[in-house]
Structure 1
Amino acid sequence: MILKTYGWSFGVTVLGLVLAGWYGLSAHLGLGQALLLVVILCILEISLSFDNAVVNATILERMSEFWQKIFLSVGIIIAVFGMRLVFPIVLVSATTGLSPIETVNLALERGDPETPGSYGYELQEAHPTIASFGGMFLLMLFLNFIFGEKENHWLGFIERPLEKVGKLESVQVIVAGIVLFVAAETFAADHAQTVLASGLAGVLTYLVVNGLGELFNVEEHLEHQDEHASGAVGAEGHAVPGERSSGPTQVAKATGKAAFFLFLYLEVLDASFSFDGVIGAFAVTTDPIIIAIGLGVGAMYIRSMTVHLVREGTLQQYRFLENGALWAIGALATILIISIEVHVPEVVTGLIGLAFIIAALISSIAYNRKHPEVDSHVGVEHAEAH
């Protein structure tokens, strides 16, 4: 099980260390220093993105095994080369007016990130744009959770009243719009226009990708009902009354267009989570190649952890874990928006998310001890599913 789930991660780790060693020697960085930096960055990425694995698992469990493999293989290429290497270069190129080649040369100079004109400095200057887009995307995800109907209530004294407020149509968009306006007028006095534009782009990206995913998910479930009347599954993932369901896992397995848009949704979500890691990496090193390798290896482990959570049925065994992860997203969204103007240490970001996850896990264990019949029922369902 471990090798099957983490085999890709182990392979990428070996490849990453070999590449880092070769690059360290060829770039006169030193073999030992290059390997050490990659290990540190890998640990940084895992610590900052553990909550990302839990959230991703809630979405990945709805996808077929084929698309889970796509997420683990093709998705990691997007995560490593797209978000950890190409995206920062494109962003610096767009904000400075330099060509991509000039930006790469600037990055390879490994200048001090505190020095104006250096790659690290220019990336820091683009932070309001990054933070606004990522913060608003994650905020929409959190608001959709907090105002939506939930099977389990963890912080019930907060979640239940807000669930009732969620019956107001488009309340998520209204709240997000208010937050974005306030942030642009207070936290981002010097970058108000940029923050508004990138924040709006974050909200629209969430609405489009999430909306398309739900649309095709519903359509494919309806087609499934028509073609398999004897064992259909309803559009909301529940067995159709009067019809025989073939098992508890079929309600979660999206394929085709639905799975494709869920895949896109996961990639945008991963991008939003990765912003703080990319920026925080410059506190360790300014070398873009070492950053891409270190964060890429860490991102691979996060993906393997996501698959592990799905295959082990962890989210079913620990009923409040998903709630805790989404509260962690709300905290990260808040931190990103605040960081538009105020620097928030990366360790704070990582610890807050981890604290929510641990608290939700402890609450889940306590609940299972008080209700052993629920815990055993979930275990039986998961065993039948596999």
Structure 2
Amino acid sequence: MPTLGPTARKVLGLPDPGDWERKKARKRQGKTKTKTATTTTAAPAVQPAAANPWESAAATLKAQGQTKPATPSAPVSTLEPPALPAGSAPWSTLDEKSGTAALRRLGRGALWAVVGLAVITGVRSWIIPNDSAPESTPTPTKTAPAYPSDEAQAVAGRFARLYLTWDDDDPDTRAAALAAVLPKDSDTAMGWDGHGQQDVLAVQPGAVVTATQGQARVRVDVLIRVTEQEATPAAGKKKATPAKTADRWIGLDVPVVQTAGTVVVTGAPGMVGMPTSGPEAPELKTPEADADFARQTTETVDTFFKAYAGGDTAAVTAPGATVPPLPSGVTLVGVKSWTADAGTGDDRTGTAHVTWQLGGAQVEQTYRIELTRVASAEAQRWQVANIHGGTA
């Protein structure tokens, strides 16, 4: 069988035949040294340089494994790591998979999002939530338009004046006036039999009570003057008894309806009674009085009411105040009482009871007066800033 030359063996990676002989000789030499070793382990002998460095390293490791050290000292390895190039790290860098990097970045992003949310909303709201629920906005509901009460009162008041005015000497005037406020083709007589005479002195529309289908009834108080018929002259007398008149208040409930954007009367009204007395008034708390201030300003109040009745209030009212004077024919009898309310400051209020003479009679009335302090370089004084009737 032909043998391969050195060049062929190197190309094919085959060992040299002489290497096997040298390897066997080294093994026999290692066994002899192991048998003659003392209890202390001597340093391994330096092996001659082998043709193959890997075979030398394997023989050394095998010799160390067969020799047992006498002391528990750590075995010293004769193998040294291969020398590294200058400036290189003693480890290798592995490329990280793209999925792992994406998951790590996603986790970091989620963590920072939680931190930002805690800063905005507050950590306390996470631990102790707010128990109060937000108020729900009420859903707007459609409401029916308000009933035209003002128009209903005006129509009912006009109708009441015409309805309660009649004169048997001129019945057509009443019929024509009622036709203007009634629906077309309505009965303008409205139940009147054509007799008697009656006038309306005053009309006062009142409450409007609504019903279905646009209907309502309006309460109207009417002051009427009834003229009684002249009495026939008695036998033996030349003149008849003159006619008498009587004034009285009566009430009417006038039916109306809203149609075609307006309010009209739907039919004949009903006469109702008038109350003979009003309800009981509640007990009102009287303001605490300031007697000292009332004495200081009594002359101011008296002077004002004299000017009030005399027609010139500009000189007794505070700068900027406007108090129209009373009409002519009113005479001041006097200020019966003046009571000032307790208080402090430059604006004070009080109550005055004043007696006037009007129409041949005297009448007592009540006023609320507002005073203000007016100061100048020389002195200061109180003047009337406003006045109105009643105690409210």
- Higher Cα Rg, which structure: 2
Q: Give the TM bin, normalised by the shorter chain.
A: under 0.3
TM-score relative to the length of structure 1: 0.17
More strand by share: 2
> RCO higher in 1 or 2 (8 Å CA, sep ≥ 6)?
1
More helix by share: 1
TM-score relative to the length of structure 2: 0.17
